[in-house]
Amino acid sequence: MKMISVVIPLYNESILVDRLLQKVIKNVKAEKEPFEVVCVDDGSTDDTLSKLLMFRKEAPEVKVISLSRNFGLQAAITAGLEFSKGERVVIMDGDLQDPPEVIPQLLQKMKETNCDVVSAVRSKRMENFSKRFFIRVFHKIFSNISEGNQVEQSGNFCLLSRKAVQSVLAFSERNRYFPGIRNFIGFQHEFVMYDRADRAEGEAKMTSRKLFSLAADAIYSFSKWPIKACLYLGLLGVVVFLLAIVYTLVSKFTGLAPFGWSSTFLAISFFGSVQLTFLGLIGEYIFRIYKEVQKRPVYLVKQVFDDTANDHEVNI
């Protein structure tokens, strides 16, 4: 029998832990197959970890990976995937925005179609207007400018076959964007639609700053668009510059009034600002290259609580 793993990243989700795990286990148990729930505690500062360990006493299927500090959602997903053992692996958020009731549908879809990836696609969203707006704009732009057949309105929530998990883990980049990688790997990819609820309790742990930086990671990693836009703008600048030269020469030889400082000023400020923008953008790429070259670990593990060993310490 093939084992099912459910990977859940958690950061300060103490109030939700019990409800979440109960629901997840209820839905996965219904499959009557062996399963594990891999909870990654992403350096929570509340009592998420002790709640998880408490729950684990009653349900040994729950495994807990405690990271040494908050490494961020993407790193936590990577940790969960690396520790998961199942032949099929569900990835979901821990705030009940990804409804556990959809898990059986994902598994069913994979069974029916024998595919390697099933993404849960949000048909409706219940978050506040500004967040919905930002996410919609991001998905529109991202799916239009990125490589690898990006699917709009699909987040982390999905089911992967072991083959797909291995493929996702083969991507060694530090600035990770999981939905982008998942859509990039190929294989037969199926979809299940669902309505996305608002988070059940508490504040969003992906703050606006974290969301913007994730959107930037997604675009820089999966699109040539920023650097291409520079090239096109640069070329446009050259055309404008050539026209200006022609205009200058014509006015010089036809005896038109000489240029004043305004045209000079405009030209300098235009090219100056374009150059600064481009330098900033190139700096962004260099910074990312630097990050990749450093090859720092994506996450560090403080402790693992699973059934193979009693609370042993692992350092990667």
Contact residue for ligand UDP among 5, 7, 13, 21 (CB under 6 A): 13
Least separation in angstroms between CB 34 and ligand UDP: 24
Show the tokens assigned to 280: 């900033």
**How many residues sit in the footprint of Mg ion (CB under 5 A)?**
3
Contact residue for ligand UDP among 11, 157, 194, 305 (CB under 6 A): 11
Residues 165-204 that bind ligand UDP (CB under 6 A): 199, 204
Q: Which residue, 78 or 97, is less far from Mg ion as judged by CB?
A: 97
Contact residue for Mg ion among 150, 160, 199, 221 (CB under 5 A): 199
Q: Which residue, 11 or 305, is less far from ligand UDP as judged by CB?
A: 11
Q: Which residue, 156 or 223, is less far from ligand UDP as judged by CB?
A: 156
Whole-Å CA distances, 241 to 23, 260, 267, 272: 64, 17, 9, 13
The closest of 313, 144, 314 to 218, measured between CA atoms, is 144
Residues 133-152 that bind Mg ion (CB under 5 A): none
Q: Fill in the DSSP letter of residue 53.
A: H
160 is in the binding site of which of Mg ion, ligand UDP, none (Cβ under 5 to 8 A by kind)? none
Contact residue for ligand UDP among 197, 206, 229, 300 (CB under 6 A): 206
- For position 98 contacting Mg ion by CB under 5 A, the verdict is no
Show the tokens assigned to 45: 């500062």
Residues 236-295 that bind ligand UDP (CB under 6 A): none
Q: Which residue, 25 or 116, is less far from ligand UDP as judged by CB?
A: 25
Residue number closest to ligand UDP, CB atom:
94
Q: Which residue, 115 or 204, is less far from ligand UDP as judged by CB?
A: 204
Whether residue 278 contacts residue 232, with contact meaning beta carbons closer than 8 Å, is answered with no
Give the Cα separation of 31 and 168 in Å (integer). Answer: 25
The closest of 68, 43, 41 to 52, measured between CA atoms, is 41
Q: Which residue, 35 or 157, is less far from ligand UDP as judged by CB?
A: 157
Residues 25-64 that bind ligand UDP (CB under 6 A): 42
Least separation in angstroms between CB 286 and Mg ion: 33
**Count of all residues that appear for the chain in the document:** 316
Q: Which residues bind ligand UDP (CB under 6 A)?
A: 9-11, 13, 42, 70, 72-73, 76, 93-95, 97, 199, 204-206
